[in-house]
Every structure is written in C-alpha cells, then in structure tokens.
Amino acid sequence: MRHYRKNWIICYDICDARRLRRVYRLCCDEAVTLQNSIFWAEFTNKELAAFIKAIEAEIDTSEDDVRQSQSFSCPW
C-alpha cells in the first residue's frame, strides 16, 4: 500500500506562553507558517499521527486547543 502525502492545515490556541513556544517550535520544524497560529504541511497519515502525538505531549488539553484539517489544495 502506498502512503500518500496529504495537505494539512494545523492551527492552535495555547493559553500558557511556555507551552505556546514549545508548540510553535514543533510546528515550525514540520510546517510552513501561514499566519500567527496557522500552519500548512504535507504529511502521510502516520507522520500526522506522530506530529499530533508530539504536540499533545506539550499541551494541557483542558486549556489548550490544537486542530488539524485536511486541505485539498496547496495554499499558494
């Protein structure tokens, strides 16, 4: 089975400045910044799962929100 890369939009709302910096660094390493807290990336499903798992390790799910949505076209 082939593992196709898909376009993803990742956005976040982080309450704590320290967690925000950590999540921002993770996103900058893997994705392209579109706006302050909005990123675009190409991931396979496996890569996306690993990326989200890394972010979830840094956030407090009761205060912070991270969302991802598949994009069907490149933003540029």
More confident residue, 74 or 23: 23
Is 45 inside a domain boundary?
A: yes
Residue 20 belongs to some domain of the structure: yes
Total number of domains in the chain: 1
Indicate which CATH number applies to the domain containing 24: 3.30.70.240
Q: For the whole model, what pTM was predicted?
A: 0.86
Residue ranges making up the domain that contains 66: 6-71
Alpha carbons within 13 angstroms on the beta-carbon side of residue 22 total 16
In a domain, 15, yes or no: yes
What pLDDT band is residue 41 in, cutting at 50, 70 and 90? very high
pLDDT tens profile 1-39: 567 899 999 999 999 999 999 999 999 999 999 999 999
Q: Is 59 a domain residue? A: yes
CA distance 58 to 66: 11
